[in-house]
């Protein structure tokens, strides 16, 4: 009984310690880089917005295929970051977009990179996987369209173009729904900025007109 009680107390202490780490306002990024050729190279975490000076950019040497960053955040200072290798060694390695938010983020840097572990980064990873699939499908449609046009099959090519547009529209709607479901936060703002419903264009006469982002048709008041 005494041993069971001691084990229970140890587990409880570990749980409390981990919980405190999760809620201490810090972002713990634990990363793995796939490939022995990157041993000893530097990896960087760079803010997407704002200055890219030494004050805001962190870096460290990859050791035993691992790296880590710790950053302090409040709700008002969370933002998007890129994790990327020294530019001499980036060929074939996917740069990684993450949300800097309190918690533990598990990162893998490879030909297809990933990040999981916090609410917004889990959602971001789902969006990235959807994005990769979308552009693979979209590229397949474009190759098929080119082949059909070379063979003089214009009607079939036009049909494929329309199907491709519908696929891209579905992807944009998926991204907007994710933003709406998030309601607020860094990822919400990022998706809203990249998938607006409308956009403005300055005309040759100096006026500004508003257009539907999906149809490119002018929106009149």
Residues shown for the chain: 221
| CA distance linking residue 38 with residue 43, whole number of Å | 9
**Quick one: pLDDT at residue 75?**
63
User: How confident is the model over 96-149, as pLDDT tens digits?
Assistant: 999 999 999 999 999 999 999 999 999 999 999 999 999 998 888 889 999 999
pLDDT of 14 above 50: no
Residues 74-82 have a mean pLDDT of 81
Q: Which residue has the higher pLDDT, 156 or 55?
A: 156
Between CA 188 and CA 79 the distance in angstroms is: 11
> Tell me, what's the pLDDT at 107?
97
Give the pLDDT score at 69: 95
| CA distances for 34 relative to 56, 64, 66, 101, 106, angstroms | 26, 10, 9, 24, 14
Cβ-count burial of 37 within 10 angstroms (0-12 exposed, 13-18 middle, 19+ buried)?
A: exposed
Contact 71, 100 (CB under 8 A): yes
What is the reported pLDDT for 78? 84
**pTM for the predicted model, two decimal places:** 0.81
d(CA 8, CA 13): 9
Q: How confident is the model at residue 12 (pLDDT cuts 50, 70, 90)?
A: very low
Question: What pLDDT does 2 receive?
Answer: 45
91: number of Cβ within 10 Å: 7
Instruction: Judge whether residue 91 has pLDDT over 50.
Output: yes
When the pLDDT of each residue in the chain is averaged and rounded to a whole number, the result is 87
pLDDT at 43 over 50: yes
Average pLDDT over residues 167-177: 95
Query: How would residue 76 be classed by pLDDT, with cut points 50, 70 and 90?
Result: low
């Amino acid at each position: 009984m005494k041993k069971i009680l001691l084990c229970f107390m140890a587990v409880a202490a570990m749980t409390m310690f981990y919980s405190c780490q999760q809620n201490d306002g810090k972002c713990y990024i634990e990363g793995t880089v796939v490939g022995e050729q990157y041993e000893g190279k530097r990896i960087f975490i760079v803010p997407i917005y704002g200055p890219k000076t030494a004050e805001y950019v962190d870096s460290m040497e990859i050791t035993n295929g691992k790296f880590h960053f710790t950053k302090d955040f409040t709700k008002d200072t969370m933002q998007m970051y890129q994790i990327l290798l020294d530019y001499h060694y980036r060929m074939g390695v996917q740069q990684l977009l993450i949300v800097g938010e309190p918690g533990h983020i598990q990162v893998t840097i490879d030909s297809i990179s990933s990040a999981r572990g916090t609410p917004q980064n889990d959602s971001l990873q789902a969006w990235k996987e959807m994005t990769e699939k979308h552009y693979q499908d979209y590229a397949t449609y474009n190759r098929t369209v080119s082949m059909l046009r070379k063979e003089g099959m214009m009607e079939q090519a036009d049909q494929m173009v329309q199907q491709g547009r519908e696929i891209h529209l579905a992807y944009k709607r998926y991204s907007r729904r994710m933003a709406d479901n998030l309601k607020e936060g860094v990822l919400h703002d990022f998706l809203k900025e990249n998938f607006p419903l409308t956009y403005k264009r300055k005309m040759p006469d100096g006026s500004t007109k508003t257009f539907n982002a999906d149809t490119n048709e002018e929106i009149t008041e």
